Amino acid sequence: MCSAAKLTIASIESQAVASRWRTLTKRYTPRQEPPQGEEIIGTLALILMITRTFSDLSEAMESVGIGAGTEIKAIIEATLRFDDVIKTKIASSDMSVYVVPPGATFTGETMVDEFGTDETREGGGERGIVAGTMEIGLVQRVGNVEKVLRKPKVILERDLLEPEGKE
């Protein structure tokens, strides 16, 4: 099936046609099985284990499910809706989630520092190392041109080491 798809689309060259192909393949490629949340609950439970909040993983998972199960379910549902929109309802461009991986170098052009910018914080916000992304960003792409529609919000490693100095 995929080989046939490749042959068919090899001659397609415009964004419009690429979008049409993306929409159709997304629409007719059924999700194998909807995520149920166990994976993310398990990961969050591991974090709680590392903080020594629980001594048993199953107890930690149960606690995560009770404490944030509703929110996690809402996140999954919202994510699936978002995924459907960017893959089947947007034809003029490509859109994707923008998440900065831990260890990346901070740049104010494409991300936001949770604790402020050069002008609002001592020491500036540039040249820091990203510890993690706390808010998702959104990138729009047409061909090779990318535009950040919504910058992801990150926390820098140095802010983790000196949390007492922050608001």
Number of residues that bind other proteins (CB under 8 A): 94
Closest C-alpha among 116, 156, 153, 155 to residue 138: 153
For other proteins, give the closer residue by CB, 44 or 106.
Answer: 44
Token digits for 154?
């990150």
Q: Output the CA torsion sign for 16, 21, 22, 24.
A: positive
111 makes contact with other proteins (CB under 8 A): no
Say if residues 125 and 116 touch (Cβ distance below 8 Å).
yes
x/- binding map, residues 133-152, to other proteins, per CB under 8 A? xxxxxx-xx-xx----xx-x
Residue from 90, 110, 121, 124 binding other proteins (CB under 8 A):
90
160 makes contact with other proteins (CB under 8 A): yes
Q: How distant is the alpha carbon of residue 70 from its chain centre?
A: 20
Contacts with other proteins in 40-79 (CB under 8 A)?
Answer: 40, 43-44, 46-55, 57, 63-64, 67-68, 71-72, 74-76, 78-79
Contacts with other proteins in 4-23 (CB under 8 A)?
Answer: 5-6, 9-22
Q: How far is the CB of 105 from other proteins (least distance, A)?
A: 13
Q: How distant is the alpha carbon of residue 162 from its chain centre?
A: 26
Residue 9's H or E segment, with its range, is helix 2-9
Query: Amino acid identity, residue 19?
Result: S
Residue from 36, 58, 61, 95 binding other proteins (CB under 8 A):
95
